[in-house]
């Protein structure tokens, strides 16, 4: 009898804890639609790791930059590089996920299938690693972000929390560190170069680009032109109905 009461009490505690967690996460994500985050989980983790390891090369650089002060070329560059269906999906690119799964089954090198929205969720809130728990929380937060934020806000936050090099976070710090200019002045090739290091900013360098990074920069620049350049940003507010219909058809 006592054991049953204890189990019922434990169940109630678990239920209340779950409800508080869901309510808290909802309110935090909603607030960040308007409040600019001062840091991110990735920044905190990297700073702690650098201090613990005594990494003297780690110099933390980050500054928030509003979307209006970021070159349209930079905004198009990260879409062209990371998530070309960003204006149209609701947080997940199922075509890319399926492609990644097919390539993994064929024994090919694993590729990333995360959208910009997923990257915002994990960079802003989550610890690094690959566990089912983390992926589940990431999916939940991605849904919240897509539901509560407009696409322009998702892109703005992504450009301010993404890592562009060792200790360099956000396009504001990156443009000043690598080009000694404000992010508003970045041209197409400078923006493409910064976007080229995003898949692995701890190994790929914008200040001393390898041949691979330069080839990737040129590919991104071509993709930007193919998308239509800065004019493509209008799709964030009004996605083209024909493109939306095509994506829905692919999912069937």
Q: Give the span between the Cα atoms of 191 and 233, in whole angstroms.
A: 15
Cβ contact 171:162 at 8 Å: yes
> pLDDT of 113-125, one tens digit each?
699 999 999 999 9
Whole-angstrom CA distances from 26 to 30, 139, 242 are 6, 14, 33
This prediction's pTM: 0.89
> pLDDT of 5-52, one tens digit each?
777 777 788 888 889 999 999 999 999 999 999 999 999 999 999 999
Indicate the CATH number of 38-251 among 1.10.3810.10, 3.40.1160.10, 1.10.1040.10, 1.10.8.80: 1.10.3810.10
Q: What are phi and psi of 115, to 5 degrees?
A: -80, 170
Residues 6+ away with beta carbon under 8 Å from 87: 79, 151, 232, 235, 236, 239
User: Has residue 107 got a pLDDT over 80?
Assistant: no
> pLDDT of 184-241, one tens digit each?
999 999 999 999 999 999 999 999 999 999 999 999 999 999 999 999 999 898 876 6
For the chain, the domains span 1-31, 38-251
User: Has residue 170 got a pLDDT over 50?
Assistant: yes
């Amino acid at each position: 009898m006592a054991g049953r009461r204890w189990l019922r009490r434990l169940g109630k505690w678990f239920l209340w804890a779950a409800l508080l967690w869901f309510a808290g996460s909802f309110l935090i994500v909603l607030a960040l639609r308007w409040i600019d985050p001062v840091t991110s989980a990735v920044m905190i983790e990297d700073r702690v790791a650098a201090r613990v390891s005594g990494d003297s090369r780690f110099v933390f650089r980050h500054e928030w930059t509003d979307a209006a002060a970021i070159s349209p070329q930079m905004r198009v560059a990260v879409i062209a590089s990371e998530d070309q269906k960003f204006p149209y999906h609701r947080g997940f690119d199922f075509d890319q996920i399926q492609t990644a799964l097919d390539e993994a089954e064929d024994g090919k090198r694993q590729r990333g299938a995360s959208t910009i929205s997923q990257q915002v969720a994990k960079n802003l809130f989550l610890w690094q690693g690959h566990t089912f728990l983390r992926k589940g929380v990431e999916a939940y937060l991605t849904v919240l972000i897509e539901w509560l934020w407009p696409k322009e806000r998702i892109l703005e936050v992504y450009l301010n929390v993404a890592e562009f090099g060792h200790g360099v976070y956000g396009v504001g710090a990156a443009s000043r560190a690598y080009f000694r200019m404000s992010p508003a002045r970045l041209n197409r090739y400078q923006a493409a170069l910064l976007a080229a290091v995003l898949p692995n900013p701890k190994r790929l360098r914008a200040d001393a680009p390898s041949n691979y990074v330069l080839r990737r920069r040129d590919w991104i620049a071509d993709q930007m032109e193919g998308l239509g350049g800065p004019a493509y940003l209008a799709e964030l507010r009004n996605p083209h109905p024909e493109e939306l219909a095509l994506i829905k058809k692919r999912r069937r």
